[in-house]
Amino acid sequence: MPPFLQHWPARLSSALPALLFAAAAIWSLVVLVGWIGGPILDMFGFRQTQTAISSAYMLKDGLALRYQTPVLGAPWSIPFEFPTYQILTAILAMAGLSVDVAGRIVSYVFFLGCLHPIATLCRHAGIGREGFLVTGALFLSSPLYVFWSRTVMIESAALFFALVWLALLLDLLAADRPARRPVASWALCLTAGVLAVLTKSTTFPAFCVAGCLLVLGAVLRDVPDLRRPTVADLRGGVTRLTVAVGACLLPIALGYVWVLYSDQVKAENPFGALLTSAALAKWNFGTLDQRVSAALWSDVVLGRAVPQVLGAAAWIAPLVLGAGLVLRRVSWPLAVFAAAFAVPFAVFTNLHMVHGYYQYANGLFLVLAVGIAVAAIGQQRSRIAALALLALFLAGNAWTFRTIFYPPMTANWSASEVVRIGEKVQALVPEDAGIVVLGQDWSSEVPYYSDRRALAVAAWFPPELAQAALADPDAALGEAAFGGVVACGASDLYPPALRPMIESFKAGRRVLATAGGCRLLSPEQDPAAGGANRLQVTELLAAARVERADVPVGPVPEGFFAHPSSRLVASAPAGERLDGLYGFLDKVWAEGGNPPPVTFTLTARTADGSDMQLLARTLDPAAGEAARLPQTFSVEVPGVAGTTTELVFETAISGTDNSWGWTYWGNAW
């Protein structure tokens, strides 16, 4: 065997951790770059757009601590977290990037920044550089971290600052005499802690637990004889633990000052007052029943969080952790990190049950525990076994990412009804106007992609507040003139107490545009139109007789699908007025379709057997944008009062190619 091949197994074994680390880093970067330009709706678009819209309005109105999240009417500021991440995103977007892209980049940079303090933690755990490569590879390939680190979220920023605080705390307190450490190091440590709390307050408590326990471990390790500690040992240990607790409490205290300020600002908005820290206490912390439930520990922790953090090989993690605990050199940090992973579930119970991204704050502790255990197995028992375990975890991570996160990440969110109706709002509603959004909870999705300030009417609004806002939308929108209504879904999304006022608010408003289940309605309201007894096109067609349908017809969110060629015959009471819509489904344009011209006709078959044409129009999308928008018609049903008349709804094309002929009839109100 040639000399250079004689030692290749050992060389490969030595280089493999670094190679796997590099492969994981490249994989996370590919995921970021490959899908960096899509809408931020893939998962928890509610939270992503809430973050992004604040950065977007910083670009318009300047950087501010009293930042705007214009979704609950005026005043527009309803601050939650300190806008560390939002400010950085806005600054990067000033270079010409979209807020979506800038926010993704900021998240990913903080994600990579976590590697440096992780290396420090690995050093304190006694597993060295190679142990860091093992742990770093697990972190960089973790399905949960790969996905959420390329979203517009504050999670990676909060995690980075908390990790820096913990790493510096251990550097400062790992040895005795903390008071002799450089003042600059203490200032940096406390600054990182403050930023961690301000950026996301729910991230920091688990790090406090980990920090104090790790310092306790260092104190116990430094006592030569635990059965007979000296006065100096006790004094030094108490001092270090006191300093560690103080390093926790100071950031939390300053974070509480921010909470008081943000609550005061939110209280200026009648709906923001419903979102103060006191009002959301139960939502944040959950209940005792939740804390002891199988839904938390079995479904959320074991069924969702652990597999998303450790991938498909999570089933082997208990064996790996058990082996690591047997190796006494790493048993204490391993146990501390495992405990720190569990603490947030017991404290912020409801938040972790509802939000799949909240585990970003504590999943790292599980990664650290497993990484330390794998590295210790390799260093103290079997290197081959450790490398095999690392490869198994990385393969499982790839599989889990492909199964859980890849489908929503790669979906065509540009064709979603939120993005499409947002484009319609931008085209039809003046830039300085505001909109009322119905059927979207208090989500920022429609306001963000509409680029308009909004009042999003949520189902949990008190009826008296909702009634006051809907009675005078101009007042609710402050300086933004009332420019229209975006109504998504049916009114039964609201509780019975709100449903009548929602229906009344929508009644008599013309449909200006449609996108899936969302409609843009006019700001003007005709009291005589759209009443409860008004004829509805969709109701007529739902009971219609199908005389021709080249493609199956039926209800769609916009109305009633009638692909050409089609002929539907419905009965309507003579003498009544019928207002309706017709046109192409908006998703034709979202999916890049090129439909042929389609002719829409509406004919009345009278009692004497004659036909009366009520509508005839050909829409040619190639003629311009106007042909792509919903078209309205208003006709009086002919015939003798008290009788019924058959109405024939037809769609047809002149040629034979009816691909993309996605046409519909719908209600005008």
DSSP 62-82: ---SS---TTBSSS-----S-
Dihedral Cα 269, 274, 276, 280, nearest 10 deg: -160
CB 57 within 8 A of CB 67: yes
Amino acid at 319: L
Amino acid at 605: R
**The total number of residues written for the chain in this structure:** 669
- Average pLDDT of every residue of the chain: 91
- Which residues touch 107 (CB under 8 Å, ≥6 apart)? 85, 148, 149, 150, 151, 152, 153, 155, 156, 157
Neighbour tally for 288: CB within 10 Å: 9
Q: Does residue 435 sit in helix, strand or coil?
A: strand
pLDDT at 466 over 70: yes
Across 153-169, average pLDDT: 97
pLDDT at 229 over 80: no
328: phi then psi, degrees, rounded to nearest 5: -60, -25
- Which residues touch 580 (CB under 8 Å, ≥6 apart)? 537, 632, 633, 634, 665, 666, 667, 668
Confidence of residue 1 (pLDDT cuts 50, 70, 90): very low
Per the model's pLDDT, the better-predicted residue between 169 and 178 turns out to be: 169
Q: Does residue 554 sit in helix, strand or coil?
A: strand
H-type alpha helices, 267-382: 281-285, 288-291, 294, 306-310, 317-326, 328-347, 349-354, 363-380
Confidence of residue 14 (pLDDT cuts 50, 70, 90): confident
Instruction: Give Cα 180 to chain centroid, integer Å.
Output: 45
Across 556-580, average pLDDT: 90
Strands (E), 495-630: 511-515, 518-521, 545-549, 554-556, 559-561, 566-573, 577-584, 598-605, 611-619
Across 226-242, average pLDDT: 81
Joined together, the tokens standing for residue 273 give 């007052």
The rounded distance, in Å, linking the Cα atoms of 105 and 95 is 13
Residue 175 pLDDT: 62
Across 239-244, average pLDDT: 90
pLDDT at 179 over 70: no
pLDDT at 570 over 60: yes
| pTM of the entire predicted model | 0.89
Selection from 321, 455, 400, 414 nearest residue 147 by Cα: 400
Number of Cα atoms under 13 Å in the Cβ half of residue 157? 26
pLDDT per position as a tens digit, 336-375: 999 999 999 999 999 999 999 999 999 999 999 999 999 9
Least confident of 87-96, 238-247, 650-659: 650-659
Confidence of residue 8 (pLDDT cuts 50, 70, 90): very low
Across 631-656, average pLDDT: 87
Residue 440 pLDDT: 95
Confidence of residue 12 (pLDDT cuts 50, 70, 90): low
Residue 660 pLDDT: 87
> How would you class 231 by CB atoms within 10 Å of its CB: exposed for 0-12, middle for 13-18, buried for 19 or more?
exposed
pLDDT at 176 over 80: no
Q: Which of 432-441, 501-510, 577-586 has the highest mean pLDDT?
A: 432-441
CB 430 within 8 A of CB 530: no
43: phi then psi, degrees, rounded to nearest 5: -145, 140
The rounded distance, in Å, linking the Cα atoms of 239 and 219 is 10
Residue 232 pLDDT: 78
Least confident of 40-49, 88-97, 382-391, 638-647: 638-647
Beta bridge partner(s), residue 333: none
Neighbour tally for 145: CB within 10 Å: 27
Cα–Cα distances in angstroms (integers) from residue 537 to residues 25, 469, 515, 516, 582, in the given order: 56, 30, 18, 17, 10
Amino acid at 641: A
